[in-house]
């Protein structure tokens, strides 16, 4: 066997580099050369790991979604009571804006990119699946809350969609006007509003 390289590790390094560069300059303005420099490798090497610039974005998107999912799992680990789960979710979500800021810039690119892609393009399906799975998770929590007598809610799916939309909308607003935003204050207010809508 020839040289043994930790392919998986290097792949992740390239993704982290792409993350940094794409977040800073935007997908279309970023050059593969810049990603390579950021990763400390040659441009050609990126093509050993990814087929094309677009495919790099797709992979990066999958990578980010996985990271984010992991983050939520960690933050919500061990919480059992539905209202606490919802509260924890909202707190984790708003906290993630700060903690994973670059992600959200890249998400903007993905949104813009996916919108024009074929319905069954990978990027678009990743987006839809992630959204659906978040909704499903939330629906389960809301239903559990209803069953446990914590909530009243006729349409858990609509409630879930409403909650998720708030979070995504806030992410967008926060991104473009961080100064106008107190995340902690907002977390509290949002939690109160959501709880009241589920009263």
Partner DNA sequence: TTTAATTGACCGGCTGGCCGGTCAACCGAA
Partner DNA sequence: TTCGGTTGACCGGCCAGCCGGTCAATTAAA
* Residues at the site binding DNA, with contacts judged by CB under 7 A: 1-5, 7, 10, 29-33, 36, 41-45, 47-48, 52-54
Say whether residue 65 binds its own copies (CB under 8 A).
no
Lookup: tokens for 59: 């992979």
Nearer to DNA, 52 or 197 (CB): 52
Say whether residue 122 binds its own copies (CB under 8 A).
no
How many helices, marked H, and strands, marked E, lie in the chain?
A: 9, 0
DSSP, res 81: S
Q: How far apart are the first and last CA of the chain?
A: 64
CA-based nearest residue to 158, from 172, 174, 173, 142: 142
Q: Please say whether the beta carbons of 33 and 59 come within 8 A.
A: no
Spatial distance between the Cα atoms of 193 and 135, rounded to a whole number of angstroms:
19
Query: Interface mask (CB under 8 A) for its own copies, residues 6-45, using x and -?
Result: ------------------xxxxxx----------------
By CB under 8 A, name the binding residues for its own copies.
24-29, 105, 108-109, 111-116, 124, 127-128, 131-132, 155, 158-159, 161-162, 164-170, 172-173, 175-177, 180-181, 185-186, 189-190, 192-194, 196-197, 199
């Amino acid at each position: 066997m020839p040289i043994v390289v930790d392919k998986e590790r290097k792949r992740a390094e390239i993704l982290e580099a792409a993350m940094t560069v794409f977040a800073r300059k935007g997908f279309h303005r970023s050059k593969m050369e810049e990603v390579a420099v950021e990763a400390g490798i040659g441009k050609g090497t990126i093509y050993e790991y990814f087929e094309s610039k677009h495919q790099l974005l797709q992979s990066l998107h999958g990578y980010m979604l996985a990271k984010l999912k992991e983050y939520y799992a960690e933050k919500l680990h061990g919480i059992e009571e539905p209202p606490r789960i919802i509260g924890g979710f909202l707190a984790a979500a708003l906290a993630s804006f700060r903690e994973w800021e670059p992600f959200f810039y890249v998400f903007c690119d993905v949104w813009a990119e996916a919108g024009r892609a074929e319905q069954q393009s990978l990027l678009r399906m990743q987006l839809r699946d992630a959204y659906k799975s978040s909704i499903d998770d939330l629906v389960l929590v809301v239903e559990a809350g209803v069953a446990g007598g914590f909530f009243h809610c006729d349409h858990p799916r609509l409630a879930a969609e409403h909650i998720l939309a708030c979070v995504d909308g806030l992410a967008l607003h926060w991104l473009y006007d961080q100064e106008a935003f107190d995340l902690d204050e907002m977390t509290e207010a949002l939690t109160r509003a959501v709880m009241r809508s589920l009263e």
